[in-house]
Structure formats: structure tokens, C-alpha cells
């Protein structure tokens, strides 16, 4: 078979057996690629179209201009969701970055059992967001979770009821999200720390840099390309966060932990306002692009500089 | 004064003994090259001297002070690495001043020191650049600047030229040598390149399998290699070595290569009295390629020693012609005049410099005479 293929190709005349022999490759690569591209593009376009129509329960044609957008942007639901996104997004990204970096630095000290610890810290990533959300909703539930445990230990004045506290509930999502994804940041940072030339660290030792100065002046500055990548990936998650919030607080108490994806879901499937839901979805896409486009530009510039150097 | 004394130093990792009882005394102002094949322990030794690795046993003294328990920064040393090890996020200036910054040297003094070193190494225009904007040779200069600015008792170089291309390596080699002559620093320099060792060192320590095989000035190492390993490691191409027999004839020593063969080679030796106990025994005969030349060459001294030998292969290099020939059936490289090209397959006449022959004990592999 292989021989037949190579002979045919060499002769410059692709024969049937050539195509048949490569059929599995074509099927494996092109079919999924076309399917997913078609899904992504066609449904994005579909959603954009819907957002300009007066659709409610079912899609209808028609043109309402930006009416859906103004309605969504004016709604209290969206405003709270957007404020929450700013708070959740920045707190989550910053804290998971710091947690991941700290874990990576600690793991990088040539400690025993590093492999086990690394797996433990990475493991939450393998858990579905719904599971994370559900488990944390139990843990944070004052009646059955951590507060109850501490009460049962005898410390009855202990209060940890952020889950049902209007002002603090958003932080429970931050906590659960950090638990879930700081392992990812850790893995990337650890790879970055490991790629620092050992001679550089030796040189810094001879120069007399203590551990603090060594990290601050020599090692951490080399990590910033990784930091940008981690921030972008985490922001992407923050912007499109749905399942975690749905399982943990479902936007509550009230609409205190509303996030854009929940607003979309709410509008589309619970209030039967397809047009407005689509408009909210397009707004989410724009927020996402506001993160991804600068990142793509940055990557492009970096690559060009690397090409010149 | 001894700048560096190493006493019965050994290092083992689990079951692997990397260094076996090293003893070295390096005088102030010397340029010592530790040379050996990869895995001989030379870099480990340097790291232990720097304090980046701990010895399993033995002591290290720098400037008369035992430094075994002193951290690298307080050993009064500076090191230049093979990978340059410049701090990628700092400018050249910051790279050079980082050590002073760590030692809290006042800014004005830092500035003065940088200016001096930059002038010495001619890197003034580079001070504002990042390492990624420098060429390999420029990075090497900056790495040296970072070491020089400290003005230490001892400079340690860990294969600093290995990452440079051949032309630049020769340039930097001269530059380092010039620098040594100018500032009279004490340098310990690790390399696997025996040419670097020969050209730069005031003394060479040839290392193999965790021990020092010979510690002497370059001429001695080249002319009187302590054993077969040194003979075959130093020099390019290395010394020709082949089994031979030592006999006494009319009161003088004769070494016979390929004894009993029709083409056996008999060479009369003069001044090799130390080899007398080996008369009637097998020895290893060693001769450098440049000691075998075309038949018309007159090596100074007595009447020329000529042999007829079959030529197997000819390699013209431009500056000389390398010839692979057979001496009494044993292969040997000869280095002859560039304009002479003996025909492969034919026999030609070769002159031998019998004053520079080395004889080794085949059992201990040590130099006899």
C-alpha cells in the first residue's frame, strides 16, 4: 500500500489508490474542521442577524435596528452583570495569577513529591465547572458547609455566609473559579520557571542576589510573555463564565451575581426574548474581541520582532 | 601566594565518583586551563570552586582562606559562563552593575566602574541595549565585563568560547589572553578544546575520569605527556602511538616497530637512558605528526633519520599536507610541506625527528622517556 502510494506520487499521477489510502486522513482532519467552522461561523452570523430582528419566542424576520441593543444595555440586569464581570474578571484573573505564580515558585524549589503535588493542583482543571460549582455551593452553604463545620467544632460565633450575602456572593464565584483554574496558571508558570537558564541563576548567586532579589529582578521579568497568555486565557473564561455561576449561585441572591452569559440564557430561554438575548450574546462577543484582538496584535508584533532579531 | 589551593577534593553523586582526590595549587596571576573530554569532571570542579556545588570531601582555599562553607558571593570570585548567562530583562549596563547593586556599592562608584570596564572591553555603545539585541561575541564581552567589574581574586571561565563560531572564537581567544596579560588576573579556565588550552594557558591541568592526569606548562604537556591519555588528547591530530620493541644494540637503545616484518622500522635513540630497564620488552612508541616530514627535511641535529614508508592517504590542508602512512605496518600521520603530495599507494621517503620520540609503558600507560 505504502509503496503503491509513493510510486504513484513520484510519477506525478495521483491514482485512485492514492486518494483512498489518504481517505482516513482527509476524514479525520477536514470533516471536524469544516463542521466546527460551519457551526461557529453560521451560528455567529445567525445570532447577529437575530439580534436585529423583533424575534421573541421564535425567530422571525424583520428589522428593528439597534432597539434590542439599547433595551439590553438599559436593563438593570445587564448593568449588574457588566459590573459583576468587571469585578469578577479582574479579581479572578489577578488572584488566580498570583496563586498560580506562588504555587509554581514553591513547587520549583526542588521539593520532594513534586509530581504528586503538581497533579493535585492541576486536578481541578479536569473537573467540570458544574461539578465545581455544585461542590462549592455545598461547601459555602452556611447550613451544611464550612460554617456548619466550624460551628460543630464549637466556635459558634463564626460566620461565613458570603453565598447568601448580596455584597459578597460574587466573591464565592471568585473563590471557586480560582480553585478551579489556578492550577492552569501554575503549570504555565512552572514551565516558564523551568526554562530559565540555570547558569543565569548561578550568575545571580555569584553576584550576591538573595532569593527575593533573584526572583524580582532576574526570574520574574522573564515570565511576562507567559503572564500575558495566562491573563488572556483566564479573561476569556471569565467573560464567558456560565456553568460555574449557574451551578454555584444561579445569579443569586436575587440578581446579585448576574453575569453576561446568564443574562443571555435568561433572555433567550426563560423570558422568550430571542432578539434581546441575541443582542446580549453579540455584546459578549464584542467584549471578548476587545480582549482577543489586542492579544493577537501583540503576538503579531512579538513574532515580527523575533523574526528581525 | 597561592590564589587557589585544592586539597584532596572529591565529589560523588550517589554511586558515581565524579572527582577523585584532586590536588591543585594555582599561583596568583596564573592562567590555568582545565582541559579534558566531556564528562571528565572539569566543570564540576569549577562549580565547586565557585561554591555552586559542594564537595564530598577535601578543602578549597581561595587567597589563603578556606572557603568550603562560604557562599559564592563572598568568595571573591567572578565567573563567565558558556551560555553567557546574561540577565535577559536587564540592559548591558544593569547586567554589569547588578552585582554591585547587590553589594550596595554607591551609585557613583558603580558608574565609574562601568565606564572603566566598558572602555576596556570596547562595549560603550552597547550599554543601553538588551542582551537579545547583541551578537554572540558582544554577549561574551558583556559577560566578561560583568566579571571584570568585580575585580575579584579569581576569575572562573566555564567554556566561554564554545558557543561562538570558529572565527570569532580565535579572536576572543586572543582577546582573553591579551586581557590576562594586561590586568594580570588569576584565571581558571575550563575547556574541552585542547587548542584553547595550548594557546592561552600558562599552566594546563589535563583531566580525565575525575582526576588530573598532568599539571604543567603547555610545552611540557605537549612535549612530555605524562601518559598515553594526555599524548592522545593534546595536539591535533594527536600523537601517533603504536606498539614497539625496545632493544639494546652496540650500547645504544633501538626501538623497533613491526619487529620481524620485512618492513620493520629500527630507530636508534639518543638521550633515552631512562628507558634502559625496558630493553627487551614491549613499549608504546609515540611520535607527533610534525616529527615525521618529507625526506628532504633536515631536523636539526645529527644525520637525518630516513625511512621508506607506504603512503595510504593524502590530505592537503593548504598550510601543510597531512599524510597517512604505515610505519612497520602501523598507521601514522605525518605533517609535511604543503607543496609535496606523495602518491597514495606508492612508497616515499620520510624524515623522522628521533629526538622528540616518547616511549610509554604499555601496562601503566605512563611516560617512560
Asked if residues B331 and B289 have their Cβ atoms less than 8 Å apart, the reply is no
Q: Which B residues in the span 61-80 are in contact with A, Cβ-Cβ below 8 Å? A: 71-74, 77-79
- What average pLDDT is seen over chain B? 91
Within-domain flag for A60: no
Same domain for A40 and A79, yes or no, is: no
Selection from B266, B261, B198, B273 nearest residue B234 by Cα? B198
Alpha carbons B61 and B48: distance in angstroms, whole number? 11
Q: Which B residues in the span 83-142 are in contact with A, Cβ-Cβ below 8 Å? A: 83-90, 98-99, 102-103, 132-133
**Residues in a beta bridge with B323:** B314, B334
Same domain for A88 and A211, yes or no, is: yes
Contact A309 B86 (CB under 8 A): no
Kindly list the residues from chain A whose CB atom is less than 8 angstroms away from the CB atom of residue B84: 199
Tell me the CATH number at A283. 1.10.3720.10
Report helix, strand or coil for B360: strand
Q: In what order do the strands lie in the sheet with B57-62?
A: B16-27, B2-13, B57-62, B65-66
Same domain for A103 and A35, yes or no, is: no
Same domain for A115 and A24, yes or no, is: no
Alpha carbons A296 and A291: distance in angstroms, whole number? 9
* CATH number of B240-360, picked from 2.40.30.10, 3.40.309.10, 3.30.70.100, 2.40.50.140: 2.40.50.140
Share of chain A above pLDDT 90, in %: 27
Kindly list the residues from chain B whose CB atom is less than 8 angstroms away from the CB atom of residue A210: 102
Determine the pLDDT at residue A8.
Answer: 44
Among B48, B98, B104, B139, which would you mutate to test the A interface (most chain A Cβ atoms within 10 Å of its Cβ)? Answer: B98
Residue in the structure block whose three cell numbers are 629526538: B355
pLDDT classification of A4: cutoffs 50, 70, 90: very low
What are A218's three cell numbers?
532576574
Same domain for A73 and A34, yes or no, is: no
Whole-number Cα distances in Å, B138 to B120, B129, B144, B160:
13, 11, 10, 12
Same domain for A45 and A103, yes or no, is: no
Whole-number Cα distances in Å, B333 to B211, B227, B292, B314, B356:
29, 19, 8, 10, 15
pLDDT classification of A1: cutoffs 50, 70, 90: very low
Within-domain flag for A141: yes
Q: Are strands B358-360 and B282-287 parallel, antiparallel or unpaired?
A: antiparallel
- Could you tell me if A219 lies within 8 Å of chain B, comparing CB atoms? no
Kindly list the residues from chain A whose CB atom is less than 8 angstroms away from the CB atom of residue B71: 205
pLDDT classification of B273: cutoffs 50, 70, 90: confident
Kindly list the residues from chain B whose CB atom is less than 8 angstroms away from the CB atom of residue A309: 132-133
Within-domain flag for A289: yes
Within-domain flag for A194: yes
DSSP class of B281:
S
Respond yes or no on whether ipTM tops 0.90: no
Q: Which domain holds residue A21?
A: 2-50
Give me the residue from B79, B89, B103 closest to A203, CB to CB. B79
Among B44, B51, B52, which would you mutate to test the A interface (most chain A Cβ atoms within 10 Å of its Cβ)? Answer: B52
Long-range contacts of A261-267 (CB under 8 A, 24+ apart): A262/A81, A263/A72, A263/A77, A263/A78, A263/A81, A266/A77, A267/A72
CA of A89 vs chain B CAs: smallest distance (Å): 29
Alpha helices, DSSP H only, in B184-287? 194-200, 218-223, 228-233
Architecture of the structural domain at B2-233: 3-Layer(aba) Sandwich (3.40)
Side-chain half-sphere of B285: how many Cα atoms within 13 Å?
Answer: 28
Same domain for A153 and A27, yes or no, is: no
Domain count within chain A: 2
Q: Which of the pair, B218 or A10, is modelled with greater confidence?
A: B218
Within-domain flag for A58: no
Same domain for A88 and A227, yes or no, is: yes
pLDDT classification of A66: cutoffs 50, 70, 90: confident
Contact B87 A209 (CB under 8 A): no
Residue-wise pLDDT tens digits, A13-50: 566 777 788 888 888 898 999 999 999 999 999 899 88
Contact B85 A203 (CB under 8 A): yes
Within-domain flag for A174: yes
CA of B254 vs chain A CAs: smallest distance (Å): 54
Residue-wise pLDDT tens digits, B41-86: 999 999 999 999 999 999 999 988 999 999 998 998 999 998 899 9
Structural domain boundaries in chain B? 2-233, 240-360
Same domain for A113 and A12, yes or no, is: no
Kindly list the residues from chain B whose CB atom is less than 8 angstroms away from the CB atom of residue A217: 87, 89-90, 98
For the CA atoms of A39, A45, A48, A50, what is the dihedral angle to 10 degrees? -80
Contact A202 B89 (CB under 8 A): no
- How many C-beta atoms surround the C-beta of residue A238 within 10 A? 24
pTM score of the predicted model: 0.78
Burial class of residue A182 in the structure, from the number of CB atoms within 10 Å of its CB (0-12 exposed, 13-18 middle, 19+ buried): buried
Share of chain A above pLDDT 70, in %: 94
CB pairs under 8 A between A and B: 68
Same domain for A26 and A111, yes or no, is: no
Same domain for A93 and A141, yes or no, is: yes
E-strand stretches of chain B: 2-13, 16-27, 31-35, 57-62, 65-66, 77-80, 154-158, 187-191, 203-208, 211-216, 240-249, 252-257, 265-269, 282-287, 292-294, 305-316, 321-327, 330-336, 347-352, 358-360
Contact B52 A205 (CB under 8 A): yes
Within-domain flag for A140: yes
Contact B88 A202 (CB under 8 A): no
Q: Are strands B187-191 and B154-158 parallel, antiparallel or unpaired?
A: parallel
Query: Quick one: average pLDDT of A175-193?
Result: 91
Same domain for A32 and A76, yes or no, is: no
User: Is the predicted pLDDT of residue A11 greater than 80, yes or no?
Assistant: no
Amino acid at each position: 500500500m505504502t509503496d503503491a502510494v509513493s510510486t504513484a506520487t513520484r510519477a506525478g499521477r495521483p491514482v485512485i489508490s492514492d486518494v483512498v489510502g489518504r481517505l482516513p486522513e482527509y476524514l479525520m482532519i477536514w470533516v471536524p474542521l469544516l463542521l466546527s467552522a460551519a457551526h461557529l461561523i453560521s451560528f455567529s452570523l445567525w445570532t447577529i442577524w437575530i439580534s436585529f430582528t423583533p424575534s421573541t419566542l421564535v425567530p422571525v424576520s424583520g428589522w428593528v435596528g439597534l432597539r434590542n441593543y439599547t433595551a439590553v444595555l438599559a436593563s438593570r440586569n445587564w448593568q449588574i452583570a457588566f459590573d459583576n464581570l468587571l469585578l469578577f474578571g479582574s479579581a479572578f484573573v489577578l488572584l488566580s495569577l498570583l496563586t498560580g505564580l506562588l504555587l509554581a515558585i514553591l513547587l520549583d524549589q526542588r521539593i520532594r513529591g513534586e509530581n504528586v503535588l503538581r497533579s493535585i493542583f492541576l486536578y481541578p482543571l479536569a473537573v467540570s465547572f458544574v461539578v465545581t460549582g455544585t461542590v462549592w455551593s455545598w461547601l459555602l452553604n452556611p447550613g451544611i458547609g464550612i460554617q456548619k463545620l466550624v460551628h460543630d467544632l464549637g466556635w459558634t460565633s463564626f460566620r461565613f455566609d458570603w453565598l447568601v450575602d448580596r455584597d459578597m456572593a460574587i466573591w464565592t464565584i471568585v473563590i471557586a473559579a480560582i480553585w478551579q483554574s489556578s492550577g492552569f496558571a501554575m503549570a504555565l508558570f512552572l514551565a516558564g520557571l523551568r526554562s530559565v537558564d540555570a547558569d543565569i541563576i548561578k550568575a545571580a548567586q555569584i553576584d550576591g542576589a538573595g532569593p527575593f532579589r533573584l526572583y524580582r529582578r532576574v526570574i520574574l521579568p522573564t515570565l511576562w510573555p507567559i503572564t500575558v497568555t495566562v491573563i488572556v486565557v483566564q479573561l476569556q473564561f471569565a467573560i464567558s463564565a456560565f456553568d460555574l455561576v449557574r451551578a454555584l449561585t444561579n445569579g443569586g441572591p436575587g440578581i446579585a451575581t448576574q453575569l453576561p452569559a446568564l443574562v443571555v440564557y435568561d433572555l433567550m430561554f426563560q423570558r422568550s426574548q430571542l432578539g434581546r438575548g441575541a443582542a446580549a450574546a453579540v455584546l459578549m462577543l464584542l467584549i471578548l474581541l476587545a480582549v482577543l484582538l489586542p492579544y493577537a496584535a501583540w503576538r503579531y508584533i512579538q513574532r515580527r520582532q523575533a523574526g528581525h532579531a | 601566594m597561592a590564589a587557589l589551593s585544592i586539597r584532596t577534593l572529591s565529589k560523588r553523586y550517589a554511586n558515581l565518583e565524579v572527582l577523585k582526590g584532586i590536588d591543585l595549587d594555582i599561583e596568583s596571576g596564573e592562567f590555568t586551563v582545565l582541559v579534558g573530554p566531556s564528562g571528565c569532571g572539569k566543570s564540576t570542579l569549577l562549580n565547586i570552586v565557585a561554591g555552586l556545588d559542594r564537595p564530598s570531601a577535601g578543602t578549597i582555599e581561595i587567597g589563603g582562606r578556606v572557603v568550603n562553607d562560604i557562599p559564592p558571593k563572598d568568595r571573591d570570585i567572578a565567573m563567565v559562563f558558556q551560555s553567557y548567562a546574561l540577565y535577559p530583562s536587564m540592559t548591558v549596563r544593569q547586567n554589569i552593575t547588578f552585582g554591585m547593586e547587590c553589594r550596595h556599592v554607591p551609585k557613583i562608584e558603580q558608574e565609574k566602574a562601568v565606564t572603566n570596564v566598558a572602555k576596556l572591553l570596547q562595549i560603550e555603545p552597547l550599554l543601553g541595549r538588551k542582551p537579545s539585541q547583541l551578537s554572540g561575541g558582544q554577549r561574551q564581552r558583556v559577560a566578561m565585563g560583568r566579571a571584570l567589574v568585580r575585580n575579584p581574586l579569581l576569575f572562573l571561565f566555564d567554556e566561554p568560547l564554545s558557543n561562538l563560531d570558529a572565527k570569532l572564537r580565535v579572536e576572543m581567544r586572543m582577546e582573553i589572553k591579551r586581557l590576562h596579560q594586561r590586568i594580570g588576573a588569576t584565571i581558571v579556565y575550563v575547556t574541552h578544546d585542547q587548542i584553547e588550552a595550548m594557546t592561552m594557558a600558562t599552566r594546563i591541568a589535563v583531566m580525565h575520569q575525575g582526576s588530573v592526569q598532568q599539571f604543567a606548562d603547555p610545552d611540557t604537556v605537549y612535549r612530555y605527556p605524562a601518559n598515553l591519555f594526555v599524548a592522545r588528547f593534546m595536539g591535533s591530530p594527536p600523537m601517533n602511538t603504536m606498539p614497539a620493541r625496545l632493544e639494546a644494540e652496540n650500547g645504544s637503545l633501538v626501538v623497533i616497530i613491526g619487529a620481524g616484518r620485512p618492513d620493520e622500522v629500527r630507530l636508534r635513540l639518543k638521550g633515552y637512558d631512562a628507558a634502559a630497564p625496558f630493553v627487551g620488552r614491549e613499549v608504546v612508541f609515540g611520535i607527533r605528526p610534525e616529527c615525521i616530514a618529507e625526506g628532504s627535511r633536515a631536523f636539526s641535529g645529527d644525520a637525518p633519520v630516513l625511512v621508506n614508508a607506504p603512503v595510504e592517504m593524502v590530505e592537503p590542508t593548504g598550510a601543510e599536507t597531512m599524510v597517512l602512512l604505515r610505519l612497520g605496518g602501523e598507521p601514522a600521520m605525518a605533517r609535511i610541506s604543503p607543496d609535496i603530495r606523495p602518491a597514495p599507494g606508492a612508497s616515499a621517503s620520510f624524515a623522522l625527528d628521533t629526538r622528540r620520540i616518547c616511549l610509554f609503558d604499555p601496562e601503566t600507560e605512563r611516560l617512560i622517556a
